[in-house]
A and B are shown apart, each in its own frame.
Chain A
Amino acid sequence: MEDTSIKALLVEDNMEYAGLLRGFLADTPFPRFDLTHVEHLEKALQLLKERVFNIILLDLNLPDSRGLTTLDQIKAQAPGMPVVVLTGLDDRMLSLEAVRKGAQDYLVKGQIDARMLPRVMRYAIERKHIEEVLVEERYLLHSLLDYVPDNIYFKDLDSRFIRINKQMAELFGLNDPAKAVGKTDFDFFTKDHAKPAYEDEQRVIKSGRPLVNIEEKETWPDGRETWVSTTKVPLRDNHARIIGTFGVSRDITSRKQAEQQLKKTNEELARSEKALRETMQNLKTSHEELKHAQMQILQAEKMESVGRLAAGVAHEVKNPLAIIQMGIEYLSRSPLSGNENMPIVLKDMWNAIQRADSIVRGLVDFSASRELDLKVEDMNDVIDQSLLLVRHELLKSRVAMIKTLGINLPHVRLDKNRVQQVLVNTIMNATHAMPNGGMLTIRTYTRKLAEIDQDVGDRTGNRLRAGDYVLVTEIDDTGTGIPDDKISKIFDPFYTTKATGKGTGLGLTVSKKIIELHGGTIDIRNRRVGGVSVTIMFKTSGRQPV
């Protein structure tokens, strides 16, 4: 069981008095006092070295020491020990002096009784204990105030400094924190910072709610700008009444600068990225344009060489063709032809010449399709005249026709013969695609090109643009359509799906060339309901006839 008795050391040279005190304490039931009595200071000091006491009852006037010196020596030996000084009636000043020097209390000899003594001693022990705790608390608080690298301050209701820590004093350029007392932020900062800070504090005082980790920009009279993260809390007295504010602020200038730098860097990065994206997009566009241009050049070169070739071929091939044809005609009328197969052979040869001739003619057409004889024409007339040329073919192939020609269409500048050639070619293609008969629909109308039509254009750079008024001619058939894998090749020279001898593979190539020379477009696509739709568009100057 733990010993709960209070170990007391009585230092008293008066034996009689010592006996009296011992008697008082012996009568105390709880706590029990375990009293050790010595008469000399020297003996007391000796005992304090050897044993642990809870309290000392000290007579200042001993045989070997007198007055406050006695207390000093005891304190030096046992600094944490509660001491109650015993003095005479006439030593009041001395008693007070002793308390000032660290004694917990004093007792005037002759006024002590059995009830009072234990109480004084217990209180002394408690006071000493509280004092030590306070010292510890104070020490911790001062350590906090003085060594934390944050600024700590206390302000009254008018935001006047009550207390600031060393760190903050340093910031204010003060060698002593006490010099800030009574001053305000207005004495150290510019109004730009001091005013909002003051308002914040008044808000805290009024609301009783703290502001936590708000970021403030501080502007100093020398123009410097610093940033702090600050927390402001209401300061309350014992009765919880708000008597001011206190706060901690931490310098975050470098963080803030880093953040701003980062923000700037990010913005620059974003700008660079945007520029990069734009550059890439431009490059991509340029690349596509280049690719497009290159294709156009290749195509144009192909066309040029085909054209030159055509002119040469025409002469070089047509002469031998003429000779063979003349030869066949002669032989067919010759009485020498006793052989029964002779007419068939001659007929085959004749057909072969016609084929070769039509191909050469197509080539020459193509090479000659460079120049146009433009006149203002009515598209509907051009269509009607073209239909006259193919009427027989349509009848023969049992192709019916629906004609929906717009009225009051604007006239356009056309080479009538060339456009007729295109129309005849288109209608003949349609007819060939309907070997068992079908329906041919021809429509003309004007319309304004929408956005989606942009970029239709030819390789000469004439482009139809959104907003242009165009004269549209549509020729639809109900034929076999074009296989999807073939549709991209239909304008290629010598490309044909027709049986050998049925087509030259130049019809659409020439048609496209002719339409493009007019600055128009020709578009061929399969209809969803079957068959093919050919759309030819020429730019007009407006909606009304010109």
Chain B
Amino acid sequence: MNKKRILIVDDEVSFTRLVKLNLEQAGDYEVRTESNGALAVSAAMAFKPDLILLDNIMPDLDGGDVIARLKSNASLKDIPVVFLTATVRKQEVDARGGVIGGFPFVAKPVTVSALVVCIEENLKNRQVRSEK
């Protein structure tokens, strides 16, 4: 079974580096990092990730803009996206079943295990969808 490819887009370089280290240590993941929202689409085109972890607030192009570009690209629009946010509270994420505005959210700080659970769930959903 191939490693699942995770693209993480976040302007916090330290965060992306540590998420990569943790995920690759914790599971069967291949993680690529991108710190610039503007480069997220080309990175996704090149990497073809199974799932994208996307920071909501970034300086140049924020999460909302990035997802708009992903959705307008036929080869990228079906890739599941999980938002990472430092502005939404855990309770709110929990209260809404981890989904805000139609997208799954993870509130920072997040434990590795919680992140893995979230990734696995969304990967599964995607498989369910693609099997239909």
Contact = CB atoms under 8 A, between A and B. Distances in A.
Main secondary structure on A side of the interface with B = helix
B111 A329 contact: yes
Contact of A322 (B21, B90, B108): B108
Interface stretch (A16-24, A100-108, A130-138, A313-321): A313-321
A321 B15 CA distance: 10
Given A318-B109, A321-B109, A326 B89 contact: no
B110 A330 contact: no
A329 B12 contact: no
Given A315-B57, A417-B95, A330 B12 contact: no
Contacts of B1: none
Contact of B86 (A318, A353, A417): A318
B25 A330 contact: yes
A321 B26 CA distance: 20
Interface stretch (A2-10, A53-61, A361-369): A361-369
Contacts of A315: 57, 86-87
Contacts of A311: 87
B111 A365 contact: no
B112 interface: yes
B36 to A, nearest CB: 16
A179 to B, nearest CB: 113
A364 B89 contact: yes
A435 B44 CA distance: 55
A365 B15 CA distance: 25
Contacts of A357: 109
Contacts of A214: none
B64 to A, nearest CB: 15
Interface string A317-348: 11101111111011001000000000000000
Contacts of A364: 87, 89
A326 B86 contact: no
Given A318-B109, A330-B21, A333-B25, A323 B87 contact: no
Given A318-B87, A329-B112, A330-B18, 14 more contacts: A315-B87, A318-B86, A319-B15, A321-B109, A322-B15, A323-B18, A325-B109, A327-B14, A327-B18, A329-B22, A330-B21, A330-B22, A357-B109, A364-B87
Nearest first, the 8 closest Cβ-Cβ pairs linking A and B are A326-B18, A318-B86, A322-B108, A322-B109, A325-B109, A321-B109, A315-B86, A323-B14
Interface of B: 12, 14-15, 18-19, 21-22, 25-26, 57, 86-87, 89-90, 95, 107-112
